[in-house]
Structure 1
Amino acid sequence: MIWLLIMQYKWIALSNTTIGVLMASINGSITIISLPAIFRGINVNPFDSFQFLLWILMGYNVVTATFLVSFGKLSDIYGRVRLYNLGFLIFTVGSILLSITPNQGSLGALELIIFRVIQGVGGAFLFSNSAAIITDAFPYNERGKALGINQIAFLGGSLIGLILGGILSVINWRLVFLVSVPVGILGTIWSYTKLKEISKPSRNESIDWVGNLTLAVGLISILVAVTYGLLPYGSSQLGWGNPYVIAGLVVGFALIGAFIYVERKVQYPMFRLELFKIRMFAAGNFASLLRSIAYGGLTIMLVIFLQGIWLPIHGYSYEETPFWAGIYMIPLMVGFVSMGPISGWLSDRYGAKLLATLGMVIVGVGFLMLTTLPYNFSYPEFAAIIFFMGLGNGMFASPNTASIMNSVPPKYRGAASGMRATIQNIGQTASITIFFTIVIIALSSSLPSALANAVSQAGAPQLSGYVQNIPVTGALFSAFLGYDPVKTILSSLPAQIYSSIPPQAMAIMEQHTWFPTAIAPSFLLSLREAFYISAILCFLAAIASALRGKTTIAEIERDGGRVDK
């Protein structure tokens, strides 16, 4: 009878944590795909919106990356289920606040950022504990399958979010955030009534306040600095020369160094550095970090390219592009969803090393294949490549997570889960920063001349000096958000310059496809540079994965046995 109850509980734990991951992943992708409608809904000018857009995208990641380790350690002390339940509640409250954002303009954008931060706190509780709760509930020989199903929910949620965002943003931008509320309410009630603590909390351990403070302030300082490093500063298109950015990076890395020192001295550290002495744990996390840096910014870059360039060139109106961008990204998600459970099941039987390593090789090859596409590519070819990359990502994700969680002693699973999620989130945030930096630097050298040539060929060479001064970030995100920067510039020209433009030139520049076609070669060239770097990182992740050694199950090894695969 007891065994039957346990069997029932493990599926309760999996289904509830899967709902939590589903809700969080829907929220992430639905926000990305719906940003054009959101910014139009709160009446924010695209030329002034880059900093708001960055914080709406990255503020959530900054908060989750900062608190994941702290919350993971706290869950070992106070209970994983208790803090997971709290995360569900906080995330739902954040979703409700986002759906009722009262103001418009800059104030409305600031409110969206604050409410996303609240969601980020809830998300940190969810992500730092979900893998640990599943690991507690399932026997070692079923964890890969269970974590694979959980990973499917994450990518499935991303797919649902892309489609829902495209549909709901056309109706009303507030529905984009409201759609998470029923799921959040259901999940919160279910988690509070059905989940229970299996592992015994280590209440005799004290909280590492100094470690918490140095890590939180250090990570916030670094992540805020890299975010502002993407904003123009002075005459530069990027802010890496901004003294505040430099100071933020120096202070942040100094505090991270102090954090590592503190964790080696305190009696009950929250970041258990000794876990990195476990080969599977260290290799799996390093592979995950490299994979996240390589892959984390891919979706947003492909969505920007589809919405701002490829879809308008192929005749889609800017109002329709969010929906169709979501539809055209489906193969990436289908590839992951189709491989996730298979790779999880196989890793339970044969180990994670071969699957995870091969998965990273496949993703790296996929990045190289993307560099061969022209800007007006044939969609079937593009779909085949991103499906191939989805397969590789699905082959890596659940075996690698199961490998990491299996390798640690049960009493440290909360901390280990938080460490794993933190490393992954830091990698994803770094990936977005690296992608944007590469793209902006590349565009800074090629876009001004490309736009000057485009207006000259249209028959208005007198505009060359004006269009060359278009900020790269303004051009990039105006296209993404469905605005034409050239029309904005035309409306602000001096009367004598405006009147000198021939009518036929004006007609050419006002065509729906003119601006996307003008910026497409420069943008694609910059993307190719980013894809080459990502491919190299994926191959390095494959090497790290191959070095994880034989599979070790911590509780089996503790009891005198060993499982080698």
Structure 2
Amino acid sequence: MGDSAYTDSDRKHLLACTVSGAFITPLMSTMMNLALMFIGDEFSVGSHDLGYVNTMFLLGSVIAMVPSARLASIYGMRKVFLLGLVITGVTSFLAMLSPGFAFFVAMRFAIGFGSAMIGVTSIAMLTYVFPRERRGWAIGINTTSVYIGLSLGPTIGGLVSDAVGWRACFVIVLALVIVSLFFVSNFRKEVTPTPEEAMDWKGSALWSVSVFVLMFGVINITSGLAAGMVVAGLGLFLVTVWYLRRCGSPVLNLRLFGIRTFSRSSVAAFMNYGASYSVAFFMSLYLQSIGALTASQAGALMLVQPAVQVLLTARMGALSDRMGDKRILPTLGMLIVSFGVAMFLFLGTEFSLPYVVLMMLIIGVGMGIFSSPNTSVIMSSVPGKYRGEASGVVSVVRQTGMMVSMSIAMASIAVIMGSTDNLGPSTYGDFVDTMRLAFSICLGMCVVGILCSWFRGSTDEECLKLI
């Protein structure tokens, strides 16, 4: 079914349900960042263990995204979107009732599964239903909703945690799930790009196991078994790639990476999110410890970065639709992000409010310019039949970048702070050194992202033959 088969009413209903659905995950993530100090106090865990709150959520997302994208293309994207909402709602309710830290982290992992189903179908449905000349605009609106969630999350999370406790954050998530279910009920047409193909369960299992083993080893790099898990994970990952290249109907179409524009734009997205995602994690701890701010005050301050992204993202998506050279905006955005990341290297134990605001402002501008235009290039670089799979790759790249960013953060904490990772005046210097190590690595990722963005090339017939 082509985009001409959908009415303007269909498009409005779809945009409403995907926007409300896309709003949930970032809101939940940023609310948790401002709740970390409260969670750590309640469950008596340090900064390394607190990293699991976001990292396991992202790990669950990355594991689920690849099979979810394939299932959506075969059985229907609307069905998978609905299932994702239900899983997110149920596991959020259970997380709210967590009796201990291990159970809470397990629920965060499960919530990641549900959010993956929402994420991989949102952009894909918009890409199929909206015509090419309005696709960038629709994706921009969807991405803006993500940034609105990021914007409101710190403030809401800080206020709720200070007023009634961190568990109440999940009440807000449950309310949003209900709202999204209402909107999706008004979009009644199914989007099923490849109903004739079969599900690759073997590839799904290989992907899930290899990613879990590899990333769990990285985030616990200083433990005894971590090195072995990293080696085993890399081996399993290579086996997974070997299998996917030879499978007739793979769960992840690696042939898409034969399109230079697609592959290099995807790498640029990975580097962007890998370099910037841990900013919120580190800043939430930095502001409430060295900065001596309350959760509410930290939440208001952290509003700066995503608020700027909200103001720019939709406009940049629409501007990208009108520009001939699609490299300019994403590359400029990546360059600006690199300046913001570099500023982390000069943070110290003396808190400077203007410096922190400027740093977050710069990163917000860069992200706002980069995200929507780059996503539009990726989705437009593949034939229509493969847009569902391309959407899955976009989501996997984004979430994997975020997961790697958190893995770098946790590994840096483990290497420098070790077992003395409870934040206090005696460990502030080590915490600053940890941030400098992490963002030195992230700055290198920015450089790679800039190069991939500018030299991404253009889609041509020879590339399309690879598919």
TM-score strictly above 0.5? yes
* Shift in alpha-carbon separation, 1:329–1:551, aligned structure 2, 3 A: farther
Aligned to 1:168: 160
Q: How does 1:437-516 map to 2 (within 5 A)?
A: 437-443=411-417, 471-473=419-421, 475-476=422-423, 479=424, 515=425
Distance (whole Å) between structure 1 residues aligned to residue 448 and residue 257 of structure 2: 19
In the alignment, the residues of structure 1 paired with residue 40 and residue 430 of structure 2 have an alpha-carbon distance, to the nearest angstrom, of 25
The residue aligned with 1:35 is 36
- Partner residue of 1:66? 63
1:228·1:245 contact (CA, 8 Å) conserved in 2? yes
Alignment pair present for 1:402 and 2:385: no
The equivalent residue for 1:389 is: 363
Is the partner of 1:411 in helix, strand or coil?
A: helix
For residue 387 of structure 1, report the CA deviation from its aligned partner. 0.7
Q: Which amino acid aligns with 1:472?
A: T
The corresponding residue for 2:312 is 339
Counterpart residue type for residue 323 of structure 1: S
Q: Which one of the candidate residues 345, 349, 359 is aligned to 2:322? A: 349
State the 4+ residue runs in structure 1 displaced beyond 6 angstroms: 2-5, 551-554
Q: What's the C-alpha RMSD, in Å, of the aligned pairs?
A: 2.4
Paired with 2:60 and 2:290, the residues of 1 have a C-alpha distance of 32
Tell me by how many angstroms 1:195 deviates.
4.4
Whether contact under 8 Å (1:307, 1:325) holds in the other structure is yes
Give 3-state SS (helix, strand or coil) of 1:472's partner: coil
Structure 1 match to 2:243: 262
**Mean CA deviation greater in 386-395 or 53-62:** 53-62
Deviates more, 1:356-365 or 1:529-538: 529-538
Structure 1 counterpart of 2:122:
130
C-alpha separation between the residues in 1 aligned to 2:52 and 2:355? 33
Alignment-mate amino acid for residue 337 of structure 2 = V
Residue deviations 1:96-126 (CA, integer Å, cap 9, x gap): 222233x3xxxx2222122222211111101
Residue identity matched to 1:36: M
Q: Measured at CA, do residues 545 and 80 of structure 1 come closer, stay the same or move farther in structure 2, by a change above 3 Å?
A: same
Aligned residues of 1:13 and 1:195 also touching (Cα < 8 A): no
Q: What letter corresponds to residue 101 of structure 2 in structure 1?
A: A
Q: Is the 8 A contact 1:76 1:411 kept in 2?
A: no
Give the counterpart letter for 1:217 in structure 2: V
Is the Cα–Cα contact under 8 Å of residues 131 and 147 in structure 1 kept in the other structure?
A: yes
Q: Within 5 A, what are the aligned runs for 1:156-555?
A: 156-170=148-162, 171-198=164-191, 200-229=192-221, 238-239=222-223, 242=224, 244-311=225-292, 316=293, 321-350=294-323, 351-443=325-417, 471-473=419-421, 475-476=422-423, 479=424, 515=425, 518-550=426-458
User: C-alpha distance in 1, partners of 2:346/2:131?
Assistant: 45
1:81 to 74, 78, 85: 78
Q: Distance in 1 between matches of 2:4 and 2:124?
A: 21
Structure whose CA Rg is larger: 1
Partner-residue secondary structure (3-state), 1:310: coil
Q: Is the 8 A contact 2:330 2:370 kept in 1?
A: yes
Letter of the 1:539 counterpart = V
Distance in 1 separating the partners of 2:76 and 2:336? 39
Cα contact 2:219–2:410 (8 A) shared by 1: no
- CA distance in 2 between counterparts of 1:324 and 1:347 reads 36
For residue 390 of structure 1, report the CA deviation from its aligned partner.
0.5
> 2 CA distance for matches of 1:553 and 1:162?
46
2:179 and 2:364 map into 1 onto residues whose CA distance is 30
Greater mean deviation of Cα atoms: 409-418 or 129-138: 409-418
C-alpha displacement of 1:553: 12
The CA distance in 2 between the partners of 1:292 and 1:207, in whole Å, is: 29
Residue in 1 that maps onto 2:132: 140
Q: 1:266 to 1:8 in 2, by over 3 A?
A: same
Contact 1:359–1:392, Cα closer than 8 Å, also in 2? yes
Give the Cα separation in 1 of the matches to 2:61 and 2:199. Answer: 19
Task: Say whether the 8 Å CA contact 1:155–1:333 is kept in structure 2.
Answer: yes
Give SS of 1:206's match: coil
The answer to whether the 8 Å contact 1:60/1:119 transfers is yes
Change (3 A) 1:174 1:527: closer
Q: Which stretches in structure 1 are left out of the alignment for 5+ residues?
A: 230-237, 445-470, 480-514, 559-565
- Tell me if the contact between 1:406 and 1:553 (Cα under 8 Å) persists in the aligned partners: no
SS at match of 1:194: coil
Determine what percentage of the aligned residue pairs are the same residue: 27
In the TM superposition, what whole-angstrom CA distance separates every residue of 1:269-309 from its partner, at most 9, and x where no partner exists? Answer: 12111111112110111111111221121110111111121
Measure, in 2, the Cα distance between the counterparts of 1:50 and 1:289.
23
> For the Cα contact (< 8 Å) 1:403–1:551, is it kept in 2?
no
* Residue of structure 2 equivalent to 1:25: 26
- What SS does the corresponding residue of 1:247 show, helix, strand or coil? helix
- Distance in 2 (CA, whole Å) between partners of 1:527 and 1:186 is 38
Q: Give the secondary-structure state (helix, strand or coil) at the position aligned to 2:382.
A: coil
Q: Distance in 1 between matches of 2:144 and 2:439?
A: 25
> Residue 31 of structure 1: CA displacement?
1.1
In 1, are the aligned partners of 2:201 and 2:251 still within 8 Å (CA)?
Answer: no
TM-score (norm 1): 0.77
Match of 1:46 in 2: 45
Distance 1:39 1:284 in 2: 38
Going from structure 1 to structure 2, the CA distance change for 1:293 and 1:376 (only over 3 Å counts) comes to same
- Specify the code of the residue in structure 2 equivalent to 1:427: G
Is the partner of 2:43 in helix, strand or coil? coil
- Evaluate the alpha carbon distance shift between residue 110 and residue 349 of structure 1 in structure 2; reply closer, same or farther with a 3 A threshold: same
Determine which of 133, 145, 155 is the counterpart of 1:153: 145
Deviation at 1:197, TM superposition (A): 2.1
* Contact kept? 2:215, 2:407, Cα under 8 Å: no
Deviations 1:373-417 (A, max 9, x none): 443243123212211110011111011111111112222222211
2:3 counterpart of 1:7: no
Distance 1:553 1:354 in 2: 23
* Shift in Å, 1:144: 1.6
Contact 1:407 1:553 in 2 (8 A): no
Given that 1:145 and 1:345 are in contact with CA atoms closer than 8 Å, whether structure 2 keeps it comes out as yes
Q: Which runs of 5+ in 2 are unaligned?
A: none
Contact in 1 for aligned 2:20/2:179 (Cα 8 Å): no
* Count of aligned positions: 460
